[in-house]
Structures are given as structure tokens and as C-alpha cells.
Amino acid sequence: MPPRVSICVPNLNTRPFLPERFDSITAQTFQDWELLVYDSHSTDGAWEYIKEVAAREPRMRAWQGPREGTPGSWTPCILEARGEYVYVATSDDTMPPDCLEKLVRALDANPDCQLAHCPLRPIDEHGETDDCRHDWWWQHSEFALSSGALIQVPHVRRAPFDGLLYLLGGSVYVSITQLLVRRSLFDAIGCFQGTWGSVGDFNWSMRAGLVANTVHVPDTWGGWRVHATQATAGVTFESAAHARTVDAMIDDALTAVAPRLSPRARAELMELAHEAGPPPADA
């Protein structure tokens, strides 16, 4: 019988963080899961450590494959997932023991939702809470600004609400660690692409927000580790080049989900996207 949840761990050279990552998985109060680990030929000893963990965890399967970048390297795991729900546990991040239990419960209770979302806890390389980014998420992030007082209580966000917010150019779902995804949503809108580099999860999240309802679960969290070697460390978010990338991701997302929208909604979304205008020219 397939497990309820497929936990996907894509990895490249994050050996220092792997013990905490795997401990956060095996400590989950929800235990009906399989663990799929895709290593992109690490050179820091991570693969050797992964094999050690796999030898003592019968629910774990690990293999190596080409380096497809972030978030492209998330897809090989997802394609192998057998669970009803998928959780992408990025290898340098963490979560509390109740995370999967509460997200699964929320999706079970809301069969019309394809995503369960929880608050973000930014942490540094030592696992300590990053107070500045933590306060930003709770007060100034796109999710916080669009939720108001609802950020503190369970609620359902109906499509295409979150998808429309992506037209502003900011991410509503900041980290994939905040999301539990119905496996069927990947069948409907596709998986993650490596086309746009390390910020490419913006494209998938916009596609999801346009067609999928999301239930917010305020009493757990997904960890997001901020450190010098993370995939997005070299991104200049205020640059003209990044603005052009965001514009391209928005156009692609709108085109990708267009068949799932009514003609009126499709036309209105395209109009809104064009009204947003082109990204600024290089200085």
C-alpha cells in the first residue's frame, strides 16, 4: 500500500546540514511516509552520508543523477513519488516534529484544497532564528500583507487569489518547505523547471496559485535556512536582469495554466499582466 506522504530531499553539497534535515524527518509525529533522496553528484561527502542513512532507514530510497539546479533538481524525486501528498524537504532546511501531521490533517479536512501552507521560520547556518527575516515574513511579506489578521488563524485561500498576487512580482509562498502538495497538482500543472535558475520556484508557485486552493495552517512552520552557499545567495533581486526573469516567469505561468481558466479569466489575467508593464531597463 502506498504511503500517504512522499518526502523528497534534493541534495547537492549540503553535508553539514544533512544530520539535522534527516533528524527532522524521522522525528515527525506523522510516520506514514516514504523518503526519496536525489543527490546531484555531491563532492563534499554528502552522498556517502546519505548512503549510511539509507542503510538503516527502510523507507528511504536514494540515487544520484545530473545536476539540474534549483528547483529543477526537485523534479526527479517528485516523479518517483507514490504518496497522495508530496513534501519537498530541501536538504539544508528543517521543520518541527508536528509539521507533516498538521499539514496532512488540513488537506484531509479540505478535499477541495491542493496545497497546505504554514508560516515560515528563517534560520541561520547555526539553526538560530533569523529575527530580521522572521519579522519580515510575519509583517511585510506578500502573504502577510494579503492575509491581515487571518495570518494567525486557519483559512482557505481560493484560486486564483494567490496567483494574482504573483503579478506584483513577489513570492506568496517564500519557501517550498511551507507547502504540502497533493500529488495530483503536479499532474495538473507540471513539476519544477530549471529554466530560470534558482528563483524558478516562483513560476511553479504562480501556476499553483492560479488554479489551486490553499489551506493555511498557522500553528506549525517550515524552516528556511539562510546561508552563504544556498542556491539563491548570488541572486540580485533588485536588478533589471532579475526583473526580466520575473516577467518571463509570469508570462510562462499564465500561458501554462490558460487551458484551466475560463475564457474571461484568461483574458483578464493577460490584461493585468500587460498592465504591469515591462521590467526596467539596465541602469
Backbone angles phi, psi at 240, to 5 degrees: -65, -35
Characterize the bridge pairing of strands 120-123 and 222-225.
Answer: parallel
Whether 280 is covered by a domain: the verdict is no
Residues 6+ apart with CB under 8 A from 76: 10, 38, 65, 68
Whether 67 is covered by a domain: the verdict is yes
Average pLDDT, the chain: 91
Query: What's the whole-model pTM score?
Result: 0.91
Q: Residue 247 pLDDT > 50, yes or no?
A: yes
For range 105-115, the mean pLDDT: 98
| Assigned C-alpha cell, 125 | 547556518
pLDDT for 281: 38
pLDDT for 83: 98
Q: How many CB atoms lie within 10 A of CB 199?
A: 18
pLDDT for 277: 52
**146 contacts 137 by C-beta, under 8 angstroms:** no
CATH number at residue 271: 3.90.550.10
For range 176-201, the mean pLDDT: 94
Rg (C-alpha) for the chain, rounded Å, is: 18
pLDDT for 279: 43
Whether 281 is covered by a domain: the verdict is no
Q: Is 101 exposed, middle or buried (0-12, 13-18, 19+ CB in 10 A)?
A: middle
The pLDDT-based confidence of 267 (bands split at 50, 70, 90) is: confident
Whether 271 is covered by a domain: the verdict is yes
State the Cα–Cα distance between residues 260 and 188, nearest whole angstrom.
9
Q: Which domain holds residue 233?
A: 5-275
pLDDT for 219: 98
Whether 9 is covered by a domain: the verdict is yes
Whether 45 is covered by a domain: the verdict is yes
Task: Indicate the number of domains in the chain.
Answer: 1
Whether 283 is covered by a domain: the verdict is no
Residues in the chain: 283
Whether 230 is covered by a domain: the verdict is yes
pLDDT for 197: 87
pLDDT in tens, 134-170: 999 999 999 999 999 999 999 999 999 999 999 888 8
